[in-house]
A and B are shown apart, each in its own frame.
Chain A
Amino acid sequence: MRWVIFSLLLLVSMILDAGNVLNVIALGQWNIKPSVLITVLVFSTLNSSSRYGIICGFATGFAADVAGTVMGPHMLCFGIIGLILTRFQKTMTLRRFPHQMAVVFLTFLAAELPAYALSVFKTGEKTPHILPVLLLTGAYSSLAAPFVWAILRSVWPKVQTRTMGRTRLSR
Protein backbone atom coordinates (compact mmCIF):
# COMPACT_ATOMS: atom_id res chain seq x y z
CA MET A 1 0.00 0.00 0.00
CA ARG A 2 1.34 3.43 -0.92
CA TRP A 3 0.61 5.31 2.27
CA VAL A 4 1.76 8.68 0.95
CA ILE A 5 -0.83 8.58 -1.83
CA PHE A 6 -3.45 7.32 0.62
CA SER A 7 -2.60 10.20 2.97
CA LEU A 8 -3.03 12.67 0.10
CA LEU A 9 -6.38 11.09 -0.66
CA LEU A 10 -7.39 11.52 2.99
CA LEU A 11 -6.15 15.11 2.98
CA VAL A 12 -8.30 15.98 -0.03
CA SER A 13 -11.30 14.33 1.66
CA MET A 14 -10.62 16.27 4.87
CA ILE A 15 -10.48 19.56 2.99
CA LEU A 16 -13.73 18.70 1.23
CA ASP A 17 -15.43 17.78 4.51
CA ALA A 18 -14.15 20.70 6.58
CA GLY A 19 -13.92 23.39 3.92
CA ASN A 20 -16.33 25.52 1.98
CA VAL A 21 -16.22 23.73 -1.36
CA LEU A 22 -19.14 21.43 -0.55
CA ASN A 23 -21.21 24.37 0.73
CA VAL A 24 -22.11 24.87 -2.94
CA ILE A 25 -24.23 21.71 -2.80
CA ALA A 26 -25.29 22.09 0.85
CA LEU A 27 -29.00 21.79 1.45
CA GLY A 28 -31.44 23.43 3.81
CA GLN A 29 -31.12 25.62 6.81
CA TRP A 30 -28.99 23.03 8.59
CA ASN A 31 -26.40 23.20 5.84
CA ILE A 32 -26.53 19.46 5.16
CA LYS A 33 -23.63 18.35 2.98
CA PRO A 34 -22.32 14.88 2.12
CA SER A 35 -19.47 13.31 4.03
CA VAL A 36 -16.69 12.16 1.73
CA LEU A 37 -14.66 10.48 4.46
CA ILE A 38 -17.38 7.92 5.22
CA THR A 39 -17.26 6.71 1.59
CA VAL A 40 -13.47 6.63 1.78
CA LEU A 41 -13.78 4.49 4.92
CA VAL A 42 -16.15 1.98 3.31
CA PHE A 43 -14.22 1.82 0.03
CA SER A 44 -10.74 1.57 1.54
CA THR A 45 -11.65 -1.10 4.10
CA LEU A 46 -13.50 -3.22 1.55
CA ASN A 47 -10.82 -2.93 -1.11
CA SER A 48 -7.70 -3.51 0.95
CA SER A 49 -6.36 -6.62 2.59
CA SER A 50 -7.80 -7.05 6.08
CA ARG A 51 -4.56 -5.93 7.74
CA TYR A 52 -4.37 -2.72 5.77
CA GLY A 53 -8.14 -2.26 6.07
CA ILE A 54 -7.82 -1.90 9.83
CA ILE A 55 -5.15 0.77 9.42
CA CYS A 56 -7.24 2.53 6.76
CA GLY A 57 -10.21 2.59 9.15
CA PHE A 58 -8.26 4.19 11.98
CA ALA A 59 -6.47 6.58 9.60
CA THR A 60 -9.79 7.74 8.13
CA GLY A 61 -11.17 8.21 11.65
CA PHE A 62 -8.12 10.25 12.60
CA ALA A 63 -8.65 12.39 9.51
CA ALA A 64 -12.32 12.89 10.42
CA ASP A 65 -11.31 13.98 13.93
CA VAL A 66 -8.71 16.45 12.67
CA ALA A 67 -11.20 17.87 10.18
CA GLY A 68 -13.83 18.11 12.93
CA THR A 69 -13.72 19.61 16.38
CA VAL A 70 -12.97 16.80 18.86
CA MET A 71 -10.07 14.33 18.74
CA GLY A 72 -10.73 10.66 19.47
CA PRO A 73 -14.40 9.77 18.87
CA HIS A 74 -14.22 9.23 15.10
CA MET A 75 -10.91 7.43 15.30
CA LEU A 76 -12.41 4.94 17.76
CA CYS A 77 -15.67 4.44 15.88
CA PHE A 78 -14.22 4.38 12.36
CA GLY A 79 -11.53 1.95 13.54
CA ILE A 80 -14.06 -0.49 14.98
CA ILE A 81 -16.42 -0.11 12.01
CA GLY A 82 -13.43 -0.60 9.70
CA LEU A 83 -12.57 -3.85 11.47
CA ILE A 84 -16.17 -5.05 11.05
CA LEU A 85 -16.17 -4.09 7.36
CA THR A 86 -12.96 -6.01 6.72
CA ARG A 87 -14.77 -9.12 8.01
CA PHE A 88 -17.34 -8.69 5.21
CA GLN A 89 -14.77 -8.24 2.43
CA LYS A 90 -15.40 -11.66 0.95
CA THR A 91 -19.18 -11.57 1.24
CA MET A 92 -20.00 -8.04 0.06
CA THR A 93 -19.61 -7.13 -3.60
CA LEU A 94 -20.68 -3.52 -3.84
CA ARG A 95 -20.87 -3.22 -7.61
CA ARG A 96 -24.41 -1.85 -7.82
CA PHE A 97 -25.21 1.69 -6.78
CA PRO A 98 -28.08 0.86 -4.39
CA HIS A 99 -25.82 -1.52 -2.47
CA GLN A 100 -23.11 1.10 -2.18
CA MET A 101 -25.63 3.68 -1.02
CA ALA A 102 -27.17 1.36 1.57
CA VAL A 103 -23.82 0.35 3.04
CA VAL A 104 -22.61 3.95 3.18
CA PHE A 105 -25.84 5.07 4.89
CA LEU A 106 -25.73 2.30 7.50
CA THR A 107 -22.01 2.79 8.09
CA PHE A 108 -22.52 6.52 8.53
CA LEU A 109 -25.18 6.01 11.19
CA ALA A 110 -23.24 3.21 12.90
CA ALA A 111 -20.14 5.38 13.10
CA GLU A 112 -21.51 8.86 13.67
CA LEU A 113 -24.05 8.13 16.43
CA PRO A 114 -21.49 6.60 18.83
CA ALA A 115 -18.96 9.25 17.74
CA TYR A 116 -21.41 11.94 18.80
CA ALA A 117 -22.00 10.19 22.13
CA LEU A 118 -18.24 10.00 22.70
CA SER A 119 -17.75 13.66 21.82
CA VAL A 120 -20.51 14.60 24.31
CA PHE A 121 -18.73 12.41 26.87
CA LYS A 122 -15.49 14.27 26.21
CA THR A 123 -16.65 17.86 25.91
CA GLY A 124 -20.05 17.81 27.61
CA GLU A 125 -21.53 19.86 24.77
CA LYS A 126 -24.82 18.47 23.51
CA THR A 127 -26.16 19.49 20.12
CA PRO A 128 -29.94 19.66 19.81
CA HIS A 129 -31.57 18.16 16.67
CA ILE A 130 -28.54 15.94 16.13
CA LEU A 131 -30.61 12.92 15.06
CA PRO A 132 -32.32 14.59 12.06
CA VAL A 133 -29.04 16.23 11.09
CA LEU A 134 -27.22 12.90 11.14
CA LEU A 135 -30.02 11.13 9.30
CA LEU A 136 -30.09 13.78 6.58
CA THR A 137 -26.30 13.89 6.32
CA GLY A 138 -26.24 10.09 6.08
CA ALA A 139 -28.89 10.13 3.37
CA TYR A 140 -27.04 12.83 1.42
CA SER A 141 -23.73 10.99 1.84
CA SER A 142 -25.31 7.81 0.51
CA LEU A 143 -26.69 9.71 -2.49
CA ALA A 144 -23.25 11.10 -3.22
CA ALA A 145 -21.53 7.76 -2.54
CA PRO A 146 -21.69 6.34 -6.12
CA PHE A 147 -19.88 9.41 -7.49
CA VAL A 148 -17.20 9.34 -4.80
CA TRP A 149 -16.99 5.57 -5.22
CA ALA A 150 -16.31 5.93 -8.97
CA ILE A 151 -13.55 8.46 -8.32
CA LEU A 152 -11.98 6.28 -5.66
CA ARG A 153 -12.20 3.27 -7.96
CA SER A 154 -10.19 5.11 -10.60
CA VAL A 155 -7.60 6.36 -8.10
CA TRP A 156 -7.27 3.20 -6.00
CA PRO A 157 -4.87 1.26 -8.29
CA LYS A 158 -2.31 4.01 -7.64
CA VAL A 159 -2.71 3.54 -3.90
CA GLN A 160 -2.23 -0.21 -4.03
CA THR A 161 1.01 -2.00 -4.69
CA ARG A 162 1.27 -5.22 -6.67
CA THR A 163 2.57 -7.19 -3.71
CA MET A 164 -0.60 -6.61 -1.71
CA GLY A 165 -2.22 -9.76 -3.00
CA ARG A 166 -5.75 -10.26 -4.20
CA THR A 167 -8.15 -7.50 -3.29
CA ARG A 168 -11.65 -6.80 -4.52
CA LEU A 169 -10.53 -4.52 -7.34
CA SER A 170 -7.91 -6.95 -8.65
CA ARG A 171 -10.38 -9.82 -8.86
Chain B
Amino acid sequence: MAIRNIHASKGFIFTGLLILSLMFQFLPQHFTNHLNLIFVRYFNPFLRLGRSASVETSRMSETKDGAVPKSRYDQLWKSHKNLLARLDVLNKDYQTLSKIRQALPMPASAIVLAKTTAASRPARHELIIDRGSNDGIDKGQFVLSPQADSVIGSIREVSDRMSRVQLITDLTCNLQVRIRREGTRLDLPAHLFGDGKTGCRINLIPRDTEIRPGDTVYAAAVPGRLEIPVVIGEVGQVIPDLQNPLLCQITVRIVENLDQLKDAAVIIPPLPKRNQNTEKVKNTRTQNKESAGKVPALLRTQNSKLRTSLYGIRLCVGSFSVCCCLSR
Protein backbone atom coordinates (compact mmCIF):
# COMPACT_ATOMS: atom_id res chain seq x y z
CA MET B 1 0.00 0.00 0.00
CA ALA B 2 2.96 2.30 -0.13
CA ILE B 3 3.22 4.97 -2.80
CA ARG B 4 6.92 4.56 -3.30
CA ASN B 5 7.70 7.19 -5.89
CA ILE B 6 5.99 10.45 -6.68
CA HIS B 7 7.48 11.67 -9.94
CA ALA B 8 5.89 15.11 -10.00
CA SER B 9 8.17 18.03 -9.24
CA LYS B 10 8.10 19.82 -5.90
CA GLY B 11 6.69 22.95 -7.52
CA PHE B 12 3.88 20.98 -9.13
CA ILE B 13 2.98 19.22 -5.86
CA PHE B 14 3.07 22.44 -3.88
CA THR B 15 1.01 24.41 -6.41
CA GLY B 16 -1.56 21.64 -6.73
CA LEU B 17 -2.01 21.33 -2.98
CA LEU B 18 -2.05 25.10 -2.58
CA ILE B 19 -4.90 25.35 -5.10
CA LEU B 20 -6.75 22.59 -3.26
CA SER B 21 -6.40 24.42 0.05
CA LEU B 22 -7.49 27.69 -1.59
CA MET B 23 -10.57 25.92 -2.88
CA PHE B 24 -11.36 24.76 0.66
CA GLN B 25 -10.75 28.29 1.91
CA PHE B 26 -13.08 29.95 -0.57
CA LEU B 27 -15.85 27.36 -0.57
CA PRO B 28 -18.77 28.53 1.59
CA GLN B 29 -18.69 27.52 5.25
CA HIS B 30 -22.10 25.84 5.15
CA PHE B 31 -20.70 23.55 2.45
CA THR B 32 -17.36 22.67 4.07
CA ASN B 33 -18.55 22.27 7.65
CA HIS B 34 -20.06 18.91 6.67
CA LEU B 35 -16.52 17.49 6.69
CA ASN B 36 -16.03 18.58 10.31
CA LEU B 37 -19.36 17.13 11.36
CA ILE B 38 -18.77 13.86 9.45
CA PHE B 39 -15.48 13.46 11.35
CA VAL B 40 -17.27 14.00 14.65
CA ARG B 41 -20.07 11.63 13.69
CA TYR B 42 -17.80 8.71 12.75
CA PHE B 43 -15.24 9.15 15.53
CA ASN B 44 -17.71 10.13 18.22
CA PRO B 45 -16.90 7.17 20.54
CA PHE B 46 -13.20 8.06 20.51
CA LEU B 47 -13.85 11.78 20.91
CA ARG B 48 -16.03 11.13 23.95
CA LEU B 49 -13.23 9.29 25.75
CA GLY B 50 -11.75 11.16 28.69
CA ARG B 51 -13.21 13.97 30.71
CA SER B 52 -16.76 14.63 29.60
CA ALA B 53 -16.51 18.37 29.07
CA SER B 54 -14.14 21.15 29.80
CA VAL B 55 -16.39 24.07 30.59
CA GLU B 56 -16.44 24.67 34.31
CA THR B 57 -19.02 27.22 35.26
CA SER B 58 -19.31 29.38 38.32
CA ARG B 59 -22.34 27.84 39.95
CA MET B 60 -24.83 29.37 42.31
CA SER B 61 -24.04 29.28 46.00
CA GLU B 62 -24.83 26.33 48.24
CA THR B 63 -27.81 26.42 50.58
CA LYS B 64 -26.96 27.83 54.00
CA ASP B 65 -28.82 25.36 56.17
CA GLY B 66 -27.94 22.37 54.04
CA ALA B 67 -31.41 20.94 54.47
CA VAL B 68 -31.78 20.02 50.81
CA PRO B 69 -29.03 18.54 48.64
CA LYS B 70 -27.54 20.99 46.15
CA SER B 71 -28.78 19.16 43.06
CA ARG B 72 -32.31 18.96 44.45
CA TYR B 73 -32.17 22.61 45.47
CA ASP B 74 -31.08 23.66 41.98
CA GLN B 75 -33.83 21.61 40.41
CA LEU B 76 -36.45 23.10 42.71
CA TRP B 77 -35.09 26.60 42.20
CA LYS B 78 -35.29 26.29 38.43
CA SER B 79 -38.77 24.79 38.53
CA HIS B 80 -39.91 27.55 40.87
CA LYS B 81 -38.51 30.33 38.70
CA ASN B 82 -39.87 28.80 35.52
CA LEU B 83 -43.27 28.36 37.11
CA LEU B 84 -43.22 32.01 38.11
CA ALA B 85 -42.37 33.02 34.56
CA ARG B 86 -45.06 30.75 33.20
CA LEU B 87 -47.52 32.11 35.74
CA ASP B 88 -46.72 35.60 34.58
CA VAL B 89 -47.38 34.66 30.96
CA LEU B 90 -50.57 32.84 31.92
CA ASN B 91 -51.75 35.85 33.91
CA LYS B 92 -51.28 38.08 30.91
CA ASP B 93 -53.03 35.52 28.71
CA TYR B 94 -55.88 35.31 31.19
CA GLN B 95 -56.34 39.05 31.17
CA THR B 96 -56.43 39.06 27.38
CA LEU B 97 -58.79 36.11 27.32
CA SER B 98 -61.14 37.63 29.82
CA LYS B 99 -61.41 40.66 27.56
CA ILE B 100 -61.90 39.08 24.20
CA ARG B 101 -63.45 35.77 25.37
CA GLN B 102 -61.71 33.80 22.73
CA ALA B 103 -59.44 30.81 23.09
CA LEU B 104 -55.79 31.37 22.27
CA PRO B 105 -53.49 28.55 21.20
CA MET B 106 -51.08 27.48 23.92
CA PRO B 107 -47.42 27.15 23.08
CA ALA B 108 -46.83 23.66 21.81
CA SER B 109 -43.20 23.60 20.83
CA ALA B 110 -41.68 20.18 20.39
CA ILE B 111 -38.55 19.24 22.29
CA VAL B 112 -35.88 16.99 20.79
CA LEU B 113 -33.46 15.29 23.15
CA ALA B 114 -29.90 14.81 21.92
CA LYS B 115 -26.65 13.27 23.13
CA THR B 116 -23.74 15.66 23.42
CA THR B 117 -20.10 15.35 22.50
CA ALA B 118 -17.83 17.86 24.16
CA ALA B 119 -15.71 19.41 21.45
CA SER B 120 -14.86 22.55 23.29
CA ARG B 121 -11.72 24.24 22.04
CA PRO B 122 -9.75 26.72 24.15
CA ALA B 123 -11.28 29.78 22.56
CA ARG B 124 -14.76 28.40 22.00
CA HIS B 125 -17.35 26.93 24.30
CA GLU B 126 -19.27 24.60 22.05
CA LEU B 127 -20.90 21.22 22.08
CA ILE B 128 -21.79 18.90 19.26
CA ILE B 129 -25.10 17.05 19.46
CA ASP B 130 -26.21 14.02 17.50
CA ARG B 131 -29.32 15.63 16.03
CA GLY B 132 -29.49 17.64 12.84
CA SER B 133 -31.76 19.07 10.21
CA ASN B 134 -33.32 15.61 9.69
CA ASP B 135 -34.77 15.97 13.18
CA GLY B 136 -36.10 19.45 12.53
CA ILE B 137 -33.20 21.32 14.08
CA ASP B 138 -32.34 24.68 12.57
CA LYS B 139 -29.83 27.45 13.18
CA GLY B 140 -30.65 29.79 16.07
CA GLN B 141 -32.94 27.41 17.98
CA PHE B 142 -32.60 27.40 21.75
CA VAL B 143 -30.90 24.50 23.52
CA LEU B 144 -32.00 23.60 27.03
CA SER B 145 -30.63 21.41 29.79
CA PRO B 146 -31.64 17.72 29.77
CA GLN B 147 -34.58 18.46 32.06
CA ALA B 148 -35.58 21.27 29.65
CA ASP B 149 -35.73 23.79 32.46
CA SER B 150 -32.86 26.19 31.73
CA VAL B 151 -31.27 27.62 28.60
CA ILE B 152 -27.68 26.49 27.97
CA GLY B 153 -27.09 27.80 24.43
CA SER B 154 -28.28 27.98 20.87
CA ILE B 155 -27.71 26.10 17.63
CA ARG B 156 -24.80 27.52 15.66
CA GLU B 157 -24.35 25.15 12.70
CA VAL B 158 -26.46 22.30 11.40
CA SER B 159 -25.83 19.30 9.17
CA ASP B 160 -28.17 16.42 8.39
CA ARG B 161 -27.40 14.44 11.53
CA MET B 162 -25.19 16.65 13.72
CA SER B 163 -25.38 20.18 15.07
CA ARG B 164 -22.98 22.52 16.79
CA VAL B 165 -24.27 24.24 19.92
CA GLN B 166 -22.88 27.55 21.10
CA LEU B 167 -22.97 27.60 24.89
CA ILE B 168 -23.99 30.74 26.74
CA THR B 169 -20.48 30.98 28.21
CA ASP B 170 -18.95 31.35 24.74
CA LEU B 171 -17.33 34.70 24.12
CA THR B 172 -19.31 35.31 20.96
CA CYS B 173 -22.65 34.43 22.54
CA ASN B 174 -25.16 37.27 22.52
CA LEU B 175 -28.57 36.51 23.96
CA GLN B 176 -31.56 38.68 24.75
CA VAL B 177 -32.47 38.28 28.41
CA ARG B 178 -34.77 39.78 31.02
CA ILE B 179 -33.76 40.52 34.59
CA ARG B 180 -36.60 40.06 37.06
CA ARG B 181 -37.05 40.15 40.81
CA GLU B 182 -39.62 38.09 42.58
CA GLY B 183 -42.37 40.13 44.20
CA THR B 184 -41.52 43.33 42.33
CA ARG B 185 -42.28 44.79 38.94
CA LEU B 186 -38.65 44.75 37.90
CA ASP B 187 -38.50 43.35 34.35
CA LEU B 188 -35.48 44.76 32.60
CA PRO B 189 -34.49 43.78 29.04
CA ALA B 190 -30.75 43.29 28.48
CA HIS B 191 -28.17 41.50 26.36
CA LEU B 192 -26.21 38.64 27.85
CA PHE B 193 -22.68 37.84 26.67
CA GLY B 194 -20.49 34.86 27.55
CA ASP B 195 -17.24 35.69 29.30
CA GLY B 196 -15.38 32.76 27.71
CA LYS B 197 -14.43 31.40 31.12
CA THR B 198 -16.96 30.35 33.70
CA GLY B 199 -20.06 32.47 33.37
CA CYS B 200 -21.76 35.32 31.59
CA ARG B 201 -21.93 39.08 31.85
CA ILE B 202 -24.42 41.81 31.07
CA ASN B 203 -23.11 45.18 29.94
CA LEU B 204 -24.57 48.55 29.02
CA ILE B 205 -26.88 48.77 32.02
CA PRO B 206 -27.25 52.27 33.52
CA ARG B 207 -25.68 52.49 36.95
CA ASP B 208 -28.78 53.87 38.59
CA THR B 209 -30.83 50.80 37.57
CA GLU B 210 -32.04 48.87 40.57
CA ILE B 211 -30.42 45.49 40.06
CA ARG B 212 -29.20 43.46 43.00
CA PRO B 213 -27.29 40.18 43.35
CA GLY B 214 -29.84 37.40 43.41
CA ASP B 215 -32.14 38.82 40.74
CA THR B 216 -33.20 36.17 38.25
CA VAL B 217 -31.98 36.22 34.65
CA TYR B 218 -34.30 34.71 32.05
CA ALA B 219 -33.77 34.09 28.35
CA ALA B 220 -36.26 36.44 26.72
CA ALA B 221 -39.15 34.92 24.83
CA VAL B 222 -38.63 34.99 21.08
CA PRO B 223 -41.71 34.47 18.91
CA GLY B 224 -41.49 31.16 17.09
CA ARG B 225 -38.43 29.98 19.03
CA LEU B 226 -39.10 30.34 22.75
CA GLU B 227 -42.68 30.89 23.78
CA ILE B 228 -42.07 31.75 27.44
CA PRO B 229 -39.00 33.09 29.25
CA VAL B 230 -36.77 30.32 30.58
CA VAL B 231 -34.35 30.79 33.44
CA ILE B 232 -30.58 31.02 32.82
CA GLY B 233 -29.23 31.93 36.26
CA GLU B 234 -29.04 34.76 38.72
CA VAL B 235 -27.20 38.03 39.04
CA GLY B 236 -23.88 37.44 40.78
CA GLN B 237 -22.16 40.80 41.05
CA VAL B 238 -23.05 44.35 40.07
CA ILE B 239 -19.88 46.39 39.68
CA PRO B 240 -19.33 49.84 38.14
CA ASP B 241 -17.94 49.92 34.61
CA LEU B 242 -14.38 51.23 34.81
CA GLN B 243 -14.45 52.64 31.28
CA ASN B 244 -17.82 54.32 31.53
CA PRO B 245 -18.81 55.52 35.02
CA LEU B 246 -22.46 55.89 34.01
CA LEU B 247 -22.80 52.18 33.34
CA CYS B 248 -22.38 49.06 35.40
CA GLN B 249 -21.26 45.52 34.65
CA ILE B 250 -23.24 42.54 35.82
CA THR B 251 -21.89 39.03 36.19
CA VAL B 252 -24.36 36.18 35.88
CA ARG B 253 -24.07 32.89 37.73
CA ILE B 254 -25.37 30.07 35.59
CA VAL B 255 -27.78 27.63 37.17
CA GLU B 256 -26.91 24.69 34.94
CA ASN B 257 -23.68 22.75 35.38
CA LEU B 258 -22.20 22.81 31.87
CA ASP B 259 -19.33 20.63 33.07
CA GLN B 260 -21.40 17.47 33.19
CA LEU B 261 -23.71 17.80 30.23
CA LYS B 262 -24.31 14.52 28.46
CA ASP B 263 -27.72 15.32 27.00
CA ALA B 264 -29.40 18.45 25.74
CA ALA B 265 -32.90 19.38 24.67
CA VAL B 266 -33.57 21.49 21.59
CA ILE B 267 -36.78 23.46 21.20
CA ILE B 268 -38.36 22.85 17.81
CA PRO B 269 -40.92 25.53 17.04
CA PRO B 270 -44.33 24.19 15.98
CA LEU B 271 -45.37 24.49 12.38
CA PRO B 272 -48.11 27.08 11.89
CA LYS B 273 -51.49 25.37 11.88
CA ARG B 274 -53.51 26.26 8.91
CA ASN B 275 -57.00 25.49 7.79
CA GLN B 276 -56.47 22.80 5.18
CA ASN B 277 -59.63 23.60 3.21
CA THR B 278 -58.82 27.27 2.82
CA GLU B 279 -55.26 26.24 2.04
CA LYS B 280 -56.48 24.05 -0.82
CA VAL B 281 -58.69 26.80 -2.23
CA LYS B 282 -55.86 29.30 -1.99
CA ASN B 283 -53.49 26.85 -3.61
CA THR B 284 -55.76 26.23 -6.59
CA ARG B 285 -56.29 29.94 -7.05
CA THR B 286 -52.68 30.92 -6.83
CA GLN B 287 -51.24 27.88 -8.61
CA ASN B 288 -51.53 29.33 -12.07
CA LYS B 289 -50.15 32.71 -11.03
CA GLU B 290 -47.22 31.17 -9.19
CA SER B 291 -46.34 28.72 -11.94
CA ALA B 292 -46.04 31.62 -14.34
CA GLY B 293 -43.67 33.38 -11.97
CA LYS B 294 -41.68 30.30 -10.98
CA VAL B 295 -40.36 29.41 -14.42
CA PRO B 296 -38.18 32.52 -14.95
CA ALA B 297 -36.97 32.29 -11.34
CA LEU B 298 -36.01 28.64 -11.83
CA LEU B 299 -34.20 29.49 -15.06
CA ARG B 300 -32.39 32.32 -13.30
CA THR B 301 -31.14 30.06 -10.49
CA GLN B 302 -30.09 27.37 -12.96
CA ASN B 303 -28.23 29.99 -14.99
CA SER B 304 -26.41 31.28 -11.92
CA LYS B 305 -25.45 27.72 -10.89
CA LEU B 306 -24.15 27.00 -14.39
CA ARG B 307 -22.21 30.27 -14.38
CA THR B 308 -20.62 29.39 -11.02
CA SER B 309 -19.64 25.89 -12.12
CA LEU B 310 -18.20 27.24 -15.40
CA TYR B 311 -16.19 29.77 -13.42
CA GLY B 312 -14.86 26.98 -11.19
CA ILE B 313 -13.91 24.80 -14.16
CA ARG B 314 -12.11 27.73 -15.82
CA LEU B 315 -10.24 28.43 -12.57
CA CYS B 316 -9.14 24.78 -12.27
CA VAL B 317 -8.06 24.56 -15.95
CA GLY B 318 -6.12 27.80 -15.65
CA SER B 319 -4.40 26.80 -12.45
CA PHE B 320 -3.40 23.39 -13.77
CA SER B 321 -2.00 24.93 -16.93
CA VAL B 322 0.10 27.19 -14.68
CA CYS B 323 1.22 24.08 -12.75
CA CYS B 324 2.20 22.33 -15.99
CA CYS B 325 4.21 25.37 -17.06
CA LEU B 326 5.94 25.50 -13.68
CA SER B 327 6.74 21.78 -13.74
CA ARG B 328 8.39 22.09 -17.19
Using CB atoms and an 8 Å cutoff, list the residues of chain A in contact with chain B: 1-4, 11, 14-15, 18-24, 26, 29-33, 50-52, 54-55, 58, 61-62, 65-73, 75-76, 79-80, 83, 118, 122-123, 125-130, 133, 136-137, 161, 163
The reply to whether the CB of B198 lies closer than 8 angstroms to some CB of chain A is yes
Distance in angstroms between the alpha carbons of A67 and B55 in the assembled complex: 19
Contact with A along B21-53 (1 / 0, CB 8 A): 111111101001101100110010011111111
Contact-residue size bin, chain B (C-beta under 8 Å from the other chain):
35 or more
Distance in angstroms between the alpha carbons of A32 and B47 in the assembled complex: 17
A–B pairs, 19, beta carbons within 8 Å: A3-B2, A15-B43, A19-B43, A20-B118, A23-B50, A30-B123, A58-B17, A58-B21, A61-B21, A66-B35, A69-B121, A69-B124, A71-B25, A75-B17, A75-B20, A79-B21, A122-B25, A129-B171, A163-B5
* B14 pairs with A79, CB closer than 8 A: yes
Residue in B1, B25, B36, B196 whose beta carbon sits within 8 Å of that of A76 in the complex:
B25
* A18 pairs with B47, CB closer than 8 A: yes
A-B pairs under 8 A by CB, number: 156
* B2 pairs with A19, CB closer than 8 A: no
Interface residues of A, dominant DSSP: helix
Residues of A within 8 A of B47 (CB): 15, 18-20
Residue in B1, B5, B25, B164 whose beta carbon sits within 8 Å of that of A118 in the complex:
B25
* A79 pairs with B36, CB closer than 8 A: no
Residue in B closest to A52 when the chains form the complex, CB atoms: B6
- Nearest chain B CB to A170 CB, angstrom units: 16
Residue in A closest to B124 when the chains form the complex, CB atoms: A127
Distance in angstroms between the alpha carbons of A80 and B29 in the assembled complex: 22
Residue in B48, B52, B198 whose beta carbon sits within 8 Å of that of A29 in the complex:
B198
The reply to whether the CB of B248 lies closer than 8 angstroms to some CB of chain A is no
The reply to whether the CB of B307 lies closer than 8 angstroms to some CB of chain A is no
Distance in angstroms between the alpha carbons of A163 and B4 in the assembled complex: 7
* A72 pairs with B26, CB closer than 8 A: yes
Q: Which of A68, A75, A123 has the most CB of B within 10 A?
A: A75
* B2 pairs with A26, CB closer than 8 A: no
- Nearest chain A CB to B31 CB, angstrom units: 9
* A66 pairs with B39, CB closer than 8 A: yes
- Nearest chain A CB to B134 CB, angstrom units: 21
* B54 pairs with A26, CB closer than 8 A: yes
Known A50-B10, A54-B13, A76-B22; judge A30-B29 contact (CB<8 A): no
Known A14-B39, A61-B21, A75-B21; judge A137-B122 contact (CB<8 A): yes
Other contacts beyond A69-B124, A127-B124: 10, CB < 8 A: A3-B2, A19-B47, A20-B118, A54-B10, A61-B21, A66-B35, A73-B25, A123-B29, A129-B171, A163-B5
Residues of B within 8 A of A15 (CB): 43, 46-47
The reply to whether the CB of B197 lies closer than 8 angstroms to some CB of chain A is yes
* B13 pairs with A51, CB closer than 8 A: yes
The reply to whether the CB of B120 lies closer than 8 angstroms to some CB of chain A is yes
Distance in angstroms between the alpha carbons of A82 and B56 in the assembled complex: 36
* B27 pairs with A71, CB closer than 8 A: yes
Distance in angstroms between the alpha carbons of A73 and B197 in the assembled complex: 26
Residues of B within 8 A of A24 (CB): 50-51
Q: Which of A4, A18, A54, A76 has the most CB of B within 10 A?
A: A18
Known A70-B32, A72-B27, A76-B22; judge A30-B4 contact (CB<8 A): no
* A55 pairs with B17, CB closer than 8 A: yes
Known A1-B2, A3-B2, A20-B48; judge A31-B171 contact (CB<8 A): no
Residue in A closest to B172 when the chains form the complex, CB atoms: A125
Distance in angstroms between the alpha carbons of A151 and B119 in the assembled complex: 25
Known A1-B2, A71-B24; judge A133-B122 contact (CB<8 A): yes
Distance in angstroms between the alpha carbons of A20 and B128 in the assembled complex: 12
Known A31-B122, A55-B13, A75-B21; judge A128-B196 contact (CB<8 A): yes
Residues of A within 8 A of B20 (CB): 58, 75
The reply to whether the CB of B18 lies closer than 8 angstroms to some CB of chain A is yes
